[in-house]
């Protein structure tokens, strides 16, 4: 089914935005990217708030439908534009596992935010140290998942992998993914970065945010 004017509003560095970009590229969706100038407050303009009262990115507009929240956008795009794709399996049990991992990814992103905000905005070393164990805990759980199957939600690559990929690539770029501590994650990440033909859509944003965090950590003396 061809897309009719799908607009995605976002920024380059955001992992949830990049998860949506990865999914859209994976299914060959011809969408229009609209960069949101967060510093200028564009996400709080009357026009944006009409689409998404929560003033968050990514935000999607498809005809009369406006959606916030990356997981809702991802599953909508799959259901509408790629309903037969193995990226979002139809089997109830397999789909439930993918959905569960998408929920896990929301928690993973929250723990990454717990690192990004004290490092880039609050310049607070103690807050960084306090929040770092939660990120490690989520990476430990992901390592466990990848010990049970080749990919995040089973043997095949799914949208759960693409969502987690956007987050973990950021952790890697920030210098926080220790190969010895999380060897399965490291191997999975390298494989997808190498094998996915559309991975390039994630590269610049992951490096941009990750390197900023890496620099911020060094400046804090952590």
Set out the domains of the chain in order of their start, with CATH numbers: 6-81 (3.40.30.10), 92-220 (1.20.1050.10)
Using alpha carbons only, what angle is made at residue 23 by residues 97 and 99, rounded to the nearest 5 degrees? 15
- Residues whose CB falls within 8 Å of the CB of residue 208, separated by 6 or more in sequence, listed in order: 12, 13
What pLDDT score does 2 carry? 42
The answer to pTM > 0.85 is yes
Return the higher-pLDDT residue of 156 and 5. 156
Tell me how far apart the alpha carbons of residues 172 and 18 are, in angstroms, rounded to a whole number.
Answer: 15
Mean pLDDT confidence for 40-63: 97
185 contacts 35 by C-beta, under 8 angstroms: no
Q: Is the pLDDT of residue 1 over 80?
A: no
Q: Is the pLDDT of residue 209 over 60?
A: yes
Q: Is the pLDDT of residue 160 over 60?
A: yes
- Residues whose CB falls within 8 Å of the CB of residue 191, separated by 6 or more in sequence, listed in order: none
Q: Which residues are catalytic?
A: 14
Q: How far is CA 4 from CA 30, 31, 63, 136, in A?
A: 9, 9, 7, 41
pLDDT in tens, 100-113: 999 999 999 999 99
Tell me how far apart the alpha carbons of residues 50 and 101 are, in angstroms, rounded to a whole number.
Answer: 30
104 contacts 96 by C-beta, under 8 angstroms: no
In whole numbers, what is the pLDDT of the chain averaged over residues? 96
What pLDDT score does 222 carry? 81
What pLDDT score does 4 carry? 56
Q: Is the pLDDT of residue 3 over 70?
A: no
């Amino acid at each position: 089914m061809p897309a009719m004017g799908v607009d995605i509003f976002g920024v380059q560095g955001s992992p949830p935005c990049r998860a949506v970009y990865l999914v859209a590229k994976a299914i060959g969706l011809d969408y229009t990217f609209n960069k949101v100038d967060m510093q200028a407050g564009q996400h709080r303009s009357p026009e944006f708030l009409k689409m998404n009262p929560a003033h968050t990115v990514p935000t999607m507009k498809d005809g009369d439908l406006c959606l916030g929240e990356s997981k809702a956008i991802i599953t909508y795009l799959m259901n509408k534009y790629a309903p037969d794709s193995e990226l979002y399996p139809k089997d109830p049990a397999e789909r439930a596992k993918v959905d569960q991992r998408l929920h896990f990814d929301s928690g993973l992103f929250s723990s990454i935010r717990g690192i990004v905000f004290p490092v880039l905005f609050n310049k607070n070393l103690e807050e960084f140290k306090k929040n770092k164990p939660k990120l490690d805990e989520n990476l430990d759980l992901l390592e466990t998942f990848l010990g049970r199957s080749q990919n995040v939600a089973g043997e095949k690559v799914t949208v759960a992998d693409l969502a987690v990929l956007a987050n973990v690539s950021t952790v890697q770029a920030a210098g926080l993914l220790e190969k010895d501590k999380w060897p399965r994650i490291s191997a999975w990440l390298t494989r997808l970065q190498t094998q996915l033909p559309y991975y390039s859509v994630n590269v610049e944003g992951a490096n941009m945010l990750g390197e900023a965090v890496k620099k911020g950590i060094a400046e804090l003396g952590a």
